[in-house]
């Protein structure tokens, strides 16, 4: 390689590094400005988009963690999927470095959420296989809030093999919302890695048993709502679920059971 060509390549590398450093500095300045303004929605949304376009994956994740810790709900993770495979690999690496269960659960949840948004990409299936064992290993958590997140995440990246796991939580989890989200996640599998017809066949009895035995009306309503989406029925209106209308829930329960027992 000639000296002039080598010099040109070195200049390009330096220019690229300089641009990336500048990008991070600009992001930091924008964040500081938004912090002073208490994050007005329009500017925050633009900033989130800029984070997704930036090569500064570590800084993006740093802000996500800060948002989690301070419970400010700024939704910085909304654009992390824009980092593609590189972002997935970064999170998997970070996941192995964290020790606290709560942090690892949040990272797994974020990974699953990102993968759900990128299920058309060629790295979806292989990345799901990497995340699933970790997710499943945390499902025995004694913290119901952690289990809820993981159960929801399982609906985004689970396969036919995870139907049984979700079925167990649907029928036996001690937390009512965990049972409800299990029903929703079973339905969500049909939008991801499991054929709808196969899922209906394998979950019909599960839904029937869960809906029939559920004592918590909120959980029961959510189960019925999930089942009616999967099976294409109209047993319960959204208003009855939102307003916890017991009479309508019981009526929907009977209709759902009658269909699911066929």
**Spatial distance between the Cα atoms of 221 and 246, rounded to a whole number of angstroms:** 9
**Spatial distance between the Cα atoms of 60 and 255, rounded to a whole number of angstroms:** 48
- Average of per-residue pLDDT values in the chain: 91
**Spatial distance between the Cα atoms of 221 and 244, rounded to a whole number of angstroms:** 8
Q: In the prediction, which pLDDT does 11 show? A: 52
**Spatial distance between the Cα atoms of 109 and 153, rounded to a whole number of angstroms:** 6
Render pLDDT for 184-230 as a digit per residue (tens, 0 to 9). Answer: 999 999 999 899 999 999 999 999 999 999 999 999 999 999 999 99
CA 259 to chain centroid: 31
Q: Is 214 left (phi over 0), alpha (psi -120 to 50) or beta?
A: beta
Low-confidence ranges of the chain (pLDDT < 70): 1-22
**Spatial distance between the Cα atoms of 8 and 21, rounded to a whole number of angstroms:** 20
Name the phi and psi angles at 99, rounded to 5: -110, -35
Domain boundaries, the chain: 43-157, 168-262
Q: In the prediction, which pLDDT does 97 show? A: 86
**Spatial distance between the Cα atoms of 126 and 132, rounded to a whole number of angstroms:** 10
pTM, two decimals, is: 0.85
């Amino acid at each position: 390689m000639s000296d002039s060509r080598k010099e040109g390549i070195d200049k390009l590398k330096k220019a690229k590094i300089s641009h990336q450093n500048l990008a991070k500095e600009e992001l930091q300045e924008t964040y500081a400005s938004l912090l002073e303004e208490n994050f007005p929605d329009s500017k925050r949304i633009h900033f989130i988009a800029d984070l997704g376009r930036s090569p500064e994956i570590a800084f993006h994740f740093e802000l996500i963690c800060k948002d989690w810790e301070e419970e400010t709900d700024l939704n910085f993770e909304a654009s992390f999927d824009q980092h593609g495979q590189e972002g997935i690999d970064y999170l998997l690496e970070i996941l192995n470095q964290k020790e606290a269960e709560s942090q690892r659960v949040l990272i797994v949840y974020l990974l699953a959420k990102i993968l759900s948004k990128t299920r058309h990409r060629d790295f979806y299936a292989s990345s799901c296989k990497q995340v699933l064992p970790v997710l499943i290993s945390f499902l025995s958590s004694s913290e119901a809030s952690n289990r809820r997140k993981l159960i929801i995440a399982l609906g985004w990246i689970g396969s036919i093999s995870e139907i049984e796991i979700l079925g167990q939580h649907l029928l036996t989890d001690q937390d009512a919302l965990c049972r409800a989200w299990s029903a929703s996640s079973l339905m969500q599998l049909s939008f991801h890695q499991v054929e709808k017809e196969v899922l209906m066949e394998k979950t019909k009895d599960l839904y029937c048993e869960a809906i029939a035995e559920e004592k918590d009306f909120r959980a029961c309503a959510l189960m019925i709502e999930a089942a009616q989406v999967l099976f294409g029925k109209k047993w319960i209106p959204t208003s009855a679920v939102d307003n916890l209308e017991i009479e309508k829930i019981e009526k929907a329960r009977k209709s759902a059971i009658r269909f699911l027992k066929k």
